[in-house]
Structure 1
Amino acid sequence: MEKNEYIQIHTFLLHLKKYLEDMVENNGGVEFNKYITLNITPNMLYKSKREHKLAIFTLSEGIGLLLSNNKCPGLEKISYRLGQITKLIMTDKEKERIMF
């Protein structure tokens, strides 16, 4: 994939996050703490392709957690697997900063 395609997916997932948070009335839940700590947004074009890919998986993990915590059963495994993939993409420095 090209970097701009990752940025488009990242943008879509961020819009989906906001929509789902409004839908389930989740204001600042813990599901997106890792994504927020990453501090990578779609409009940060200077970030690398790998960093946007990491943000996509981290954001997807948070979306899965949000849905599984709000009566959408079966998404725990998906969220867990996305978390594992996220760890594979992270550098050691990012792991130290994000993992709590």
Structure 2
Amino acid sequence: MHKDELIQLHTLLAQIKRHLETQDTDHDFSEYQSLAISPVHIHRSKAEHKHAIFVLGNHLASIMSEDELSGIGRTSARMQEFAKRTSRNVSGSNN
């Protein structure tokens, strides 16, 4: 994906996060927030946005998952795997 496409996806996931936060539910987005990156940070690298997408996507998928055997549960596991992989690339990339 191109950086602008990643930013669009990041924006969509951030909007879903904000919607969940307005529903008076208690979800802990601290891991995502600790990254200190949002879709408006267009100066940040492609790798940083990709990592944020995987971290946020993992958390959103786990919220939607009721049991580990569901399709969403498998998606959550894959997002977590991708987040771990991309975290190694974040510090060395400026794309």
Would the TM-score normalized by the shorter structure come out above 0.5?
A: yes
What is the match of residue 58 of structure 1? 55
- Identify unmatched segments of 5+ residues in structure 2: none
Corresponding position: 1:2 with 2:2:
yes
Paired residues in the alignment total 89
TM-score, normalised via structure 1 length: 0.75
CA distance, structure 2, for counterparts of residue 51 and residue 92 of structure 1: 8
| Structure 2 contact 47–89 (Cα < 8 Å) conserved | no
- Tell me by how many angstroms 1:65 deviates: 1.5
What is the match of residue 49 of structure 1? 46
1:6-40 per-residue CA deviation (whole Å, 9 max, x = no partner) reads 111100110012223434x324x22x222111111
TM-score, normalised via structure 2 length: 0.78
Query: After the TM superposition, which residues 21-32 of structure 1 pair with which residues of structure 2 at under 5 Å, given as runs?
Result: 21-23=21-23, 25-27=24-26, 29-30=27-28, 32=29
- Identify unmatched segments of 5+ residues in structure 1: 95-100
Stretches of 4+ moved more than 6 A in 1?
Answer: none
